[in-house]
Amino acid sequence: MGHDDVQVTVYTPEDAPLGLFGTQATVAVGHDLEEAGVQAETGVYVAEDPQDPARLILHPGERTLDAERVRGAAARGRAWSARASANARGFVPTDLHGRVPDVDVVWAAGDAIAFPVKQGGLASQQADAAAESIAAHAGAELEPRPYRPVLRA
């Protein structure tokens, strides 16, 4: 984009970027990030300031994030109170059918939910499980299958 003064930082609640995939993946992505000049801050998540949605706060520590552009994995719930349903890391808990516990007729799938791996193929599988559950709730004659993750790479 013609800028040589850009600083990129990845914020993740993990102990290490891609830590869930094991040491080999962590070392490889760490090397790639370092080579690209990308900083990584682990053990944190980013959330909107409840008083000012344009402001972002890093948790834990309540530090303000000063950024010109932000790309996030966690969805920002606005249609219903996702914040009230979110866990300590800002993700929405669901059962294996995508249903949000303690919230009447709400399902969720993909990057917004508390499942630890964020990946498009898994999000599609989560959405399939949620769709079957929604259909059964609406009266369709089917037994909804629970989400069973299959990661293909």
Per-residue pLDDT reduced to its tens digit, 52-97: 767 788 888 888 887 776 665 544 433 344 555 778 778 889 999 9
Mean pLDDT of the 119-146 span:
93
Residue 77 CA to residue 54 CA, distance in Å, equals 14
Neighbouring CB atoms inside 10 A of 19's CB total 16
Per-residue pLDDT reduced to its tens digit, 97-126: 999 988 778 899 999 898 988 999 999 999
Residues ≥6 apart with Cβ < 8 Å to 75? 82, 110, 111, 112
Please, what is the Cα angle at 69 between 9 and 55, to 5 degrees?
Answer: 95
Specify the CATH number for the domain of residue 36: 3.50.50.60
Domain count, the chain: 2
Quick check: is 16 in a domain? yes
Residues 78 and 55 in one domain: no
Check: pTM over 0.75? Answer yes or no. no
Domain encompassing residue 53: 1-65
DSSP summary character for residue 152:
-
pLDDT of residue 37 exceeding 60, the answer is: yes
**Bridging pattern class, strands 39-42 and 9-12:** parallel
